Amino acid sequence: MSESDYASLKAKAISQPLVEHIYTADPSAHVFDGRIYIYPSHDIDAGIPFNDNGDHFGMQDYHVLSMDAPDSPATDHGVALHIKDVPWAERQMWAPDAARKGDKYYFYFPAKRADGIFQIGVATGDSPTGPFIPQPEPIQGSYSIDPAVFEDDDGSFYLYFGGIWGGQLQHYRDNQYNEQYQEPTAGGPALGPIVARLTDDMLEFDEDPVEIQILDQQGKPLLAGDTDRRFFEASWMHKYQGKYYFSYSTGDSHYICYATGDSPYGPFTYQGRILEPVVGWTTHHSICEVQGKWYLFYHDSILSGGVTHLRSVKMAEIHYDSQGRIQTLRPYQE
């Protein structure tokens, strides 16, 4: 696409970047004490050539953004955690999330160890904007990418995670790593996201992680070849009118989809798309209620002129119909 194509898409975009002085992606949004806090990846050009493993996503630190209200400017609170301060991590700080329990904040993040394997770490702080102090080791039994933390109504916290291809989930079965394991063939059930309840201190898994099933309307697992609907990465969980809404990216088909269920462990039944494809290969989101309205936080690569690893976080209101179905957003007006 030419520069003028991007200019015209920018004009048609339903929302503009929340910040433009740095590139940000993978926004996980929460409201703490009435203020919106966004935990994004901090995209940089690390000079690493593009490949299918996503090595060009060479992020090294995290910033936290915050806003008074959906139409207010976003504040960048600076570096909240840097890879040089994480003893076990070597590179690629990908999509994070955060939670509050009591008066402490817990920041969950994936990164690669020196041997190239992704794990998930946790860092703690006294403020929603950090700084966050990392635990010396990753969460025991954690693997793959894209942690998303969800607090249920009974006060239990769950960590959802996983992503195929560069996120390495295809190399795991029953929580065991084997490089020989690959994505199932097209006619087999797709790999599901993983969930584990967290311990009371929020620092470990309280149980063995389990794979979540995403079913079609007939109750059959989505197939690996069903790339328009199967799970790829970018888990998110929210609750709406008592139902659990699990949402995710379909990766190589570039949709944000959702599935609903009656338990934080699923199974979840596929319902439809939340967001049509954005500019850039990746799509990643969170959903958060702010002042009685619901918002999708997402990203695209318009500001960088389509550079897939230089993205900008955005937000747009979403709407449910009377059946609890989420209306699909088109990120650029026709």
Catalytic residues: 45, 211
# of chain residues touching ligand FUB (CB under 6 A): 13
1, 332 in Cβ contact below 8 A?
A: no
For residue 18, what is the DSSP state? S
CA distance 154 to 147: 21
Residue 5 or 252 with smaller CB distance to ligand FUB: 252
Asked whether position 29 contacts ligand FUB by CB under 6 A, the answer is no
DSSP helix/strand/coil, 83: helix
Which of 55, 36, 53 minimizes the C-alpha distance to 45?
Answer: 55
CA distance 310 to 44: 6
Asked whether position 145 contacts ligand FUB by CB under 6 A, the answer is yes
Asked whether position 282 contacts ligand FUB by CB under 6 A, the answer is yes
Residue nearest to ligand FUB (CB): 94
Which of 113, 128, 120, 126 minimizes the C-alpha distance to 63?
Answer: 128
Residue 94 or 231 with smaller CB distance to ligand FUB: 94
Residues 166-205: x/- map of binding to ligand FUB (CB under 6 A)? ----------------------------------------
CA dihedral 122, 126, 128, 130 (to 10 degrees): -70
Residue 173: how many other CB atoms lie within 10 Å: 11
Asked whether position 146 contacts ligand FUB by CB under 6 A, the answer is yes
Residues 204-243: x/- map of binding to ligand FUB (CB under 6 A)? -----------------------------xx---------
Residue 127 or 316 with smaller CB distance to ligand FUB: 316
DSSP helix/strand/coil, 90: coil
Residue of the chain from 23, 37, 39, 57 that contacts ligand FUB (CB under 6 A)? 57
Asked whether position 25 contacts ligand FUB by CB under 6 A, the answer is yes
C-alpha dihedral sign at 243, 150, 58, 129? positive
Binding stretches for ligand FUB (CB under 6 A): 25-26, 41, 57, 94-95, 145-146, 163, 233-234, 282, 284
